[in-house]
Chain A
Amino acid sequence: MPKISYVYCDANVFLAYFNAEAGRVTVLDQLFEEMQKDNQRKIVTSVVSITEVSHVAEERTRNRLDKKVYDALESFWGDNSLIEFVDFNELIARQARDLIRQAISLKYALRTNDAIHLTSAKYVGVSECFTYDHKLNKFSSIIGCDIREPYVSSPKLPLVFPDDPQK
């Protein structure tokens, strides 16, 4: 059975999609579309992403997150044709701790959740790690994969969605 190859996405990648951020969402449309159709590739992220995105969403709506938004986010997180999750388990906790220690010795600042995301990417053995936070790029060699913004190899014209807030 062919093995699935995983691409890691940081929480900010999903948030950019939920925000439909101009200049990013069209890339994400295509990336997600390609990943969903490809049985051998999948997006993976830490379970922490669910909480982080939810926190920002609550903050944005001043704790009045309506059911429509909640359900839409659940449809996203539950779509196993696109995404799988990495648990926060004991091994990841220990490795995240070691990564923070290593970062300190290199005089880098690495926050707990950053370390959990990077360690989760390493845990699954991803080929690439996507983030919009350039502060994380310097950890590429430690994690053993490219850390960069999401991209697609052959960008298409933007998809047209009804009620697209960017139009």
Chain B
Amino acid sequence: MPDTTLVLALEGDVRLDQFSEAVNHFHKLLLQLTQEVAADTKIEWDLEDLQYGSAIMAVAGRADTEEPVLRVVSAFEDVGQSLQQHEPIPFSRHVAREAESLTKLIGGDIKAVRLGTARKEAIIYGLFDAKKISTAKPMVSFGSVKGRVQSISNRGKLRFTLYDAVFDKPVSCYVKEDRQDILTDIWDKVVFVSGRVTRQPDSGQPVSVREITSIDFVPMIEPGSYRKARGILAGSGEPEPAEVSIRRLRDAEN
């Protein structure tokens, strides 16, 4: 079953009234898109996930046939990419109005709006922020993110949310259907998720991992174990200050 998940994320510190307004525009955007690309189909959008940190909401489309839902998902991706690239939205003015209303929330404590699907991610820094136009494209590279798994959805689509260990922000992780096995027993565990990592272009914070190749458990070490290493290298080799040893290494490698 194809993944029809749509993600709306407000990056930053978000108040309830702002989140409510964003959800309202998001809902209207979906209704307008449905009307334009799948008018003959009744689509229910089920709430899949809500996360704190950055306010993230995920919904998944459900209808008698998949094809119209996928048309809406694809249209949603087009809207996201247009907003991100500051290009005209290729739908009616009703769709454009709702999409632009979402971006008007940016400013103050909300740094960006993110529109995602299982395939694509768009990060929008504001309609008129010309300074960021050239660099607004999310950074995608193979890598890994360490964090704690907080929610897993496997209702037809495999997705989980990881709270990144450094920034404590939610990262959406998408698992391919044939890799369901890697989701076993990971809930509330600290893991490394490896795959194609999308990062915000300005802060580098990870926002999603797709094409996941592995999930590895981080060994749990008792707090305070660091003390076992105190003086562990003392008495071995020539004594010299730490900065001299490290400097020698760094200078030699250039």
Contact with A along B208-226 (1 / 0, CB 8 A): 0000000000110111111
List chain A residues, Cβ under 8 A from B218. Answer: 78, 80
Report B50-71 residues with CB < 8 Å from chain A CB.
Answer: 52-53
Decide yes or no: A18 and B233 within 8 Å by CB, A90-B141, A111-B251, A133-B247 being known contacts.
yes
Ordered by A's residue number, 26 sampled pairs between the chains whose C-beta atoms are within 8 Å are A1-B53, A12-B243, A12-B245, A16-B243, A17-B230, A18-B231, A19-B231, A20-B231, A20-B234, A29-B230, A57-B233, A57-B236, A60-B233, A75-B228, A78-B218, A78-B219, A78-B225, A82-B223, A85-B166, A87-B144, A91-B199, A92-B204, A112-B250, A113-B253, A114-B250, A161-B230
Question: How far, in Å, is A59 (CB) from chain B's closest CB?
Answer: 7
Query: A residues engaging B (CB < 8 A)?
Result: 1, 3-4, 6, 10-21, 24-25, 29, 32, 36, 44, 52, 55-57, 59-62, 68-69, 71-76, 78-87, 89-92, 111-114, 123-124, 131-133, 135, 161, 163-166
The residue among B139, B236, B254 with the most chain A CB atoms within 10 A of its own CB is B236
List chain B residues, Cβ under 8 A from A89. Answer: 141, 143, 197, 199, 204
Query: B residues engaging A (CB < 8 A)?
Result: 52-53, 139, 141, 143-146, 165-166, 168, 190, 197, 199, 201, 203-204, 218-219, 221-226, 228-239, 241-243, 245-247, 249-251, 253-254
List chain B residues, Cβ under 8 A from A73. Answer: 229, 232
List chain A residues, Cβ under 8 A from B197. Answer: 89
Decide yes or no: A72 and B229 within 8 Å by CB, A56-B246, A90-B141, A133-B246 being known contacts.
yes
Closest 6 A/B residue pairs (Cβ) = A20-B231, A60-B237, A81-B223, A15-B242, A91-B204, A76-B229
How many Å lie between the Cα of A36 and that of B204 in the bound state? 26
Q: Determine chain B's interface SS by DSSP, over half rule.
A: loop
Question: How far, in Å, is B70 (CB) from chain A's closest CB?
Answer: 31
Question: How far, in Å, is B89 (CB) from chain A's closest CB?
Answer: 29
- B199 touching A76, Cβ below 8 Å: no
List chain B residues, Cβ under 8 A from A132. Answer: 241-243
List chain B residues, Cβ under 8 A from A79. Answer: 221-226
How many Å lie between the Cα of A159 and that of B177 in the bound state? 54
How many Å lie between the Cα of A61 and that of B226 in the bound state? 21
How many Å lie between the Cα of A73 and that of B232 in the bound state? 8
List chain B residues, Cβ under 8 A from A114. Answer: 250
How many Å lie between the Cα of A68 and that of B235 in the bound state? 14
How many Å lie between the Cα of A20 and that of B238 in the bound state? 14
- Other A-B contacts than A76-B229, A89-B199, 18 sampled, CB-CB below 8 A, are A12-B247, A15-B245, A18-B229, A20-B230, A20-B234, A21-B241, A32-B226, A52-B246, A56-B233, A56-B246, A60-B236, A60-B238, A78-B225, A90-B199, A91-B139, A92-B204, A112-B250, A112-B253
CB nearest to A48 among chain B residues? B250
